């Protein structure tokens, strides 16, 4: 059975690399090449202009070429993962994978370069000759001690960052994990005894970094295949190992492990035994980083030291020391400020950023990527997970700042805070466009009640609201369930202390709530018994009553169930004093920019009057995002050419709008392509009321609007903000079951904005 499982896994890995096309990389053009004009600009004669500009000023290469965002991953295949010296060609899948990680995690373009050259001096000469092509060099999987020679020569000769990830990337992540391990164990770097196995590139780099963090060199005991590195030893010695030589004669790992506070293994399987761990200090720190099999299995270490703090290089154990936590983001920061090198200060800034992030509340995105894992700071969570999207916005600015402070930045960023916002916007696509909304929401402290308060997405949103805003979340749910799920998710907030919980099964306001609901609905067939039942079981109705009674300012529901079911109870309670649901507006964030769509939910087939109201309300909400509305009324009919139901209703809506003379641009009725493409619209109707693409599409029925919304989500990688329920003075919003925690936080910011802020 195990053999079959392994063979299946092997074949799956091979298929991944072969299909649908071989390899993991491709090159795509960033500029159009559709006609002769494009060709003349991309190549001859237009390309000469860019060449001449770069000849006159080399720094302009960053403006006119990809060099400023291009990294080379260079290897000769002499020390590949745990495979050893497999050669340059066989290393290519690894280097392609490294290039993919650069792109995925930091948006950095990358070429993998495999060189069939064993001589470290010649290898360095080849790498140095690549400087005109790349903005930075990532050396990878070059055996020790050759890697030290290659890196030294390249750093001396090249005026761009050169980073040997096996050394320094590993050292940075180990440094971050060790920083937090010290906190958990209640120890200090300067006081500990450290025993390490493995004198290769990664091991030496880790020890040097730990020295920079405070470990005393005389308290470091380095062992390798020949035993303890000691003064006078000649076997298997290098200048790098010699720096850690202890006085005295030969000794083994078993001889020196006594009283060690920390073990750092970058060697091989089974090197550390349980008996050795038992001889370490209480709360021993065991970093067994050999791959794929660690120096000691975590369960064996814990069998003799239950309080051990353990890290490995594997993803199936807690505290995986993974270089992807570091290298994409340190290169991002270095490239963005035009750093000439990656120095110690930049590496230490990276360590501090990674360590601090682990101590913060886990992001919802990371929690979703690692479903089922408990991620709260402690002995089993020393460092963040690789898919934590906050890594970019924390590490890259810290690295950039350190580069500027140490004078190695050739293009300093003017404002680190603005730079961070830009990076966050590249990771959280809604970040930049939502900024005006969050700023407006910060002007007041509003009470927002969540109808589905037991949902983990809601719990994470409540935590984010308390961390990032002045709003006060109210959760409807059973307190014991809320408490359990908060604990399971590793969230620090607690009901009663940090936020209010409304228990539908036992709340002192129950009599008041069902009484209010009965009073509102008694002439719509609702009896007292029915009112009691609804206020005991229907959390959407409870939330609406709380808003009606002004015990909350706004409500959010819809994480499960059907939109119109939720809307029914909102209408019953909150459609008062001329306020009625007008329509649902969805903001779709696309690669080409933002696009608003309405009405996706409320009116299945709106009347002309309802369409006109939707147009006006949509324009008002678009302005909340700092945008100028350009509204297209969309239909199968185009500028009067068809007397379809949708066409006639749209034309009538246009007449209503013309009579009201709103202060924004609108036009219709038209097809979607005419709305989005100026040239198409000019051919059909050259006298349209706005120029450029529409940013708001209003449809004549919910089928069309909802269909377009879902197509953009599923096939165009559109990120939705919304739906925004218009017409109820920002007192209620109904989301959809597919919403993420980030989406809920965005809706909460919209709900948290006083109506006075946007009219």
Burial of 87 (0-12, 13-18, 19+ CB in 10 A): middle
Q: Which of 31, 55, 92, 98 is catalytic?
A: 98
In the structure encoding, which two tokens stand for residue 608, read together?
Answer: 């002309």
Sheet holding 719-726, edge to edge: 665-670, 630-634, 696-699, 593-598, 583-590, 719-726
Q: For the CA atoms of the chain, what is the radius of gyration?
A: 31
User: Which residue, among 486, 489, 467, has the nearest Cα to 390 in the 3D structure?
Assistant: 467
Output the CA torsion sign for 111, 114, 115, 120.
Answer: positive
User: Which residue, among 106, 113, 66, 65, has the nearest Cα to 331 in the 3D structure?
Assistant: 106
Packing angle of the helix pair 528-537, 510-521 (nearest 10 deg): 130
Euclidean distance between the first and the last CA atom of the chain, given in angstroms as a whole number: 67
DSSP-derived secondary structure letter, 755: G
In the structure encoding, which two tokens stand for residue 530, read together?
Answer: 């029915």
In the structure encoding, which two tokens stand for residue 321, read together?
Answer: 């020391």
Q: Which residue has the tokens 């009919």?
A: 637
CA distance 722 to 727: 14
CA distance 735 to 462: 16
Cβ distance 197 to 205 under 8 Å? no
Output the CA torsion sign for 681, 683, 689, 692.
Answer: positive
CA distance 119 to 602: 70
Sequence-ordered strand ranges (E) for 52-179: 70-75, 109-114, 136-139, 162-164
Rounded to the nearest 5 degrees, what angle is found at the Cα of 428, between the Cα atoms of 173 and 172? 10
Cβ distance 556 to 744 under 8 Å? yes
Q: Is 187 a catalytic residue?
A: no
488-525 in b/e burial notation, b at 16+ Cβ within 10 A?
ebbbebebeeebbbbbbeebebbeebbbbbbebbeeee
- Could you give the 3-state DSSP secondary structure of residue 87? coil
Residues with Cβ within 8 Å of residue 648, at least 6 apart in sequence? 637
My answer on whether omega of the bond before 296 falls inside 30° of 0, hence cis, is no
Q: Which residues are catalytic?
A: 98
């Amino acid at each position: 059975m195990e053999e079959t499982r392994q063979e299946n896994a092997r074949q799956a890995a091979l298929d991944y690399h072969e299909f649908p096309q071989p390899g993991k990389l491709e090159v795509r053009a960033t500029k159009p090449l559709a006609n002769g004009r494009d060709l003349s600009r991309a190549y001859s004669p237009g390309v000469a202009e860019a060449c001449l500009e770069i000849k006159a000023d080399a720094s302009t290469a960053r403006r006119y070429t990809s060099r400023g965002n291009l990294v080379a991953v260079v290897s000769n295949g002499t020390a590949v993962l745990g495979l050893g010296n497999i050669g340059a060609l066989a290393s290519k899948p690894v280097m392609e994978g490294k290039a993919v990680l650069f792109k995925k995690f930091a948006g950095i373009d990358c070429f993998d370069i495999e060189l069939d050259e064993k001589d470290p001096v010649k290898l360095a000469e080849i790498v140095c000759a690549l400087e005109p092509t790349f903005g930075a060099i990532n050396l990878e999987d070059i055996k020790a001690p050759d890697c030290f020679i290659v890196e030294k020569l390249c750093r001396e000769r090249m005026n761009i960052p050169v980073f040997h990830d096996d050394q320094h990337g590993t050292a940075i992540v180990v440094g971050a994990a060790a920083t937090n391990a010290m906190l958990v164990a209640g120890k200090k770097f300067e006081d500990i005894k450290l025993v390490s196995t493995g004198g290769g590139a990664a091991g030496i780099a880790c020890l040097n970094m730990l020295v920079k963090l405070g470990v005393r060199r005389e308290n470091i005991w380095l062992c390798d295949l020949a035993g303890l590195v000691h003064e006078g030893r000649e076997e298997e010695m290098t200048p790098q190992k010699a720096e850690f030589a202890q006085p005295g004669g030969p000794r083994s790992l078993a001889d020196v492990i006594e009283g060690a506070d920390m073990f750092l293994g970058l060697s091989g399987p089974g090197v550390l035994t349980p008996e050795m761990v038992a001889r370490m200090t209480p709360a021993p720190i065991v970093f067994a980083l050999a791959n794929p099999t660690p120096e000691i299995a975590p369960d064996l270490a814990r069998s003799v030291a239950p309080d051990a703090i353990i890290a490995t290089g594997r993803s199936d154990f807690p505290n995986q020391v993974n270089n992807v936590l570091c290298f994409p983001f340190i290169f991002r920061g270095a490239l963005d400020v035009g750093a000439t090198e990656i120095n110690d200060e930049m590496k230490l800034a990276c360590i501090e950023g990674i360590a601090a992030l682990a101590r913060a509340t886990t992001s919802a995105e990371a929690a979703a990527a690692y479903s089922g894992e408990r991620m709260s700071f402690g002995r089993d969570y020393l460092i963040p997970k690789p898919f934590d999207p906050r890594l970019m916005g924390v590490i890259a600015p810290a690295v950039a700042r350190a580069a500027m402070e140490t004078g190695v930045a050739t293009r300093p960023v003017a404002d680190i805070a603005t730079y961070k916002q830009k990076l966050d916007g590249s990771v959280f696509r809604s970040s930049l466009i939502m900024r005006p909304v969050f700023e407006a929401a910060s002007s007041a402290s509003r009470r927002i009640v969540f109808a589905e308060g037991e949902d983990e997405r809601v719990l994470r949103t409540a935590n984010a609201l308390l961390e990032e805003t002045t709003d006060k979340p109210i959760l409807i749910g059973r307190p014991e369930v809320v408490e359990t799920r908060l604990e399971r998710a590793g969230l620090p907030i607690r009901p009663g202390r940090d936020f209010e919980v409304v228990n539908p099964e036992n709340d002192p306001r129950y009599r008041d709530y069902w009484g209010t609901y009965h009073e509102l609905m008694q002439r719509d067939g609702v009896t007292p018994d029915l009112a009691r039942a609804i206020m005991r079981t229907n959390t959407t109705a409870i939330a609406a009553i709380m808003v009606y009674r002004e015990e909350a300012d706004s409500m959010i529901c819809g994480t499960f169930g059907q939109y119109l079911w939720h809307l029914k109870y909102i209408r019953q309670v909150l459609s008062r004093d001329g306020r009625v649901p007008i329509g649902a507006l969805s903001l779709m964030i696309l690669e080409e920019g933002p696009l608003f769509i309405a009405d996706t939910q409320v009116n299945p087939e709106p009347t002309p009057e309802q369409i006109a109201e939707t147009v006006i309300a949509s324009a008002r909400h678009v302005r909340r995002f700092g945008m100028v509305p350009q509204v297209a009324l969309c239909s199968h009919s185009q500028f009067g050419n068809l007397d379809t139901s949708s066409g006639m209703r749209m034309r009538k809506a246009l007449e209503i709008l013309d009579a009201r003379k709103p202060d924004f641009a609108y036009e219709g009725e038209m097809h979607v392509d005419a709305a989005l493409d100026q040239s198409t619209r000019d051919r059909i109707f050259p006298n349209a009321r706005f120029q450029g693409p529409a940013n708001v599409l209003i449809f004549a029925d919910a089928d069309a609007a909802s269909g377009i919304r879902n197509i953009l989500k599923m096939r165009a990688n559109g990120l939705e903000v919304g739906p925004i329920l218009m017409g109820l003075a920002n007192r209620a919003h109904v989301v959809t079951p597919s919403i993420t925690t980030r989406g809920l936080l965005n809706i909460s910011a919209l709900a948290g904005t006083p109506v006075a802020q946007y009219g």
